[in-house]
Structure 1
Amino acid sequence: MAGAFIQVNLKGQTELVATLNQLMKNGGDLSPALSQIGEYLLESHHARFQLEVAPDGTPWEPLAPETLKRKKGEDRILQDKGYLRDLLSYEASINQLLFGSNLEYAATHQFGREEDGIVQREFLGFTTGPWNDGDEMLAILQDHLQAS
């Protein structure tokens, strides 16, 4: 998947790692659970686009005055035509979930590009705190484990 995607290292996430290990031991094929997580992540990311916040809840950097002028007053951030938000996708296999965007400029916005004056507006990642993506993903995996 070209563009921008997230890779998760589960070190320190003992409950999630234990659940994944149990799933692989019992069933081997995690694709149903990973597809469900992919759908959940689409919803979670779309909600953050509405709020215009990074996964940690930090508001995205406001648009520069010259950008606002070019956009003729449209002030939605990273949503000019909605492609970045609407073309997020995932690929689930028996033991892997890829989530992100195949748009080339996705990485530019995720990480910023200082030499061109484009600030970082992180949009890919897992939310923590009261609205915790990890809790939801764990619940999905546990449901799958119980059904196995």
Structure 2
Amino acid sequence: MAGSFITVRAYGSGEINALLSRIARAGTDLEPAFAEIGEYLIEATQERFKLELAPNGEQWEPLAPETLARKDGEDRILQQSGTMRDLLAYQITGRVLTFGSNQEYAATHQFGREEDGIPARPFLGLTTGPWRDADEIVEILQDHLKDAIA
């Protein structure tokens, strides 16, 4: 071959192959990362309950006067007993993480029920405000893959 060139050879390709295999295994075994993400989502969602914020950063609609009267002036929204907030859970099935509440009334509060005058007060979802849940989730996944090469 005429001209100027360089040759690159991979020595120790067994080490490279082993490293790539560890990364590939970590990429298919996401359960440890999903468990960490699930725990993070519980904490982040419970914090939004305290702040009475939707994932998009908007305040939940205030309680109606009739609701306040029925609750003897207790003005905390979606926290009368704390059951929905305290029983948030996640489930990992293969490569899928499902997060939410199995409480019967959770969907009513997430989406609202117009015919009964109950406004939507979304509590499930990833934040889009000043702190972003997606950033934390990406960091958890990156750490999971970094552990494979450590």
Shift >6 Å, 4+ stretches: none
CA contact (8 A) 2:111 2:121 kept: yes
AA partner of residue 102 (structure 1): N
In the alignment, is the contact (CA less than 8 A) between 1:52 and 1:60 conserved in 2?
Answer: yes
Relative CO higher for 1 or 2, CA cutoff 8 Å, sep ≥ 6? 1
CA drift at 1:84: 1.0
TM-score using structure 1 length? 0.82
Cα displacement string for residues 88-128 of structure 1 (whole angstroms, at most 9, x for unaligned residues): 10012331100000011000000000001111000000001
Sequence identity (%): 63
Contact residue 23 and residue 145 of structure 2 kept, 8 A? no
Partner of residue 123, structure 1: 123
SS at match of 2:43: helix
Letter in 2 for 1:54: A
Structure 2: 5+ residue runs without aligned partners? 1-21
Q: Which has the larger radius of gyration?
A: 2
Structure-2 residue corresponding to 1:106: 106
Provide the residue aligned with 1:96 in structure 2.
96
Q: Mean alpha-carbon deviation: is it higher for 29-38 or for 125-134?
A: 125-134
The alpha-carbon distance between structure 1 residues 24 and 111, as it changes in their structure 2 partners (threshold 3 A), is: farther
Any idea what SS the aligned residue of 1:104 has?
coil
The one-letter code of the counterpart of 2:95 is N
Q: Which amino acid aligns with 1:30?
A: L
2:28 aligned with 1:50: no
Number of aligned pairs?
126
For residues 141 and 116 of structure 2, the distance between their equivalents in structure 1, rounded to whole angstroms, comes to 42
Question: Deviation of residue 75 (structure 1)?
Answer: 0.3
Shift of 1:55: 0.3
Give the SS at the match of 2:105.
helix
Question: Who is 1:140 aligned against?
Answer: 140
Measured after TM superposition, the shift of residue 147 of structure 1 is 1.0
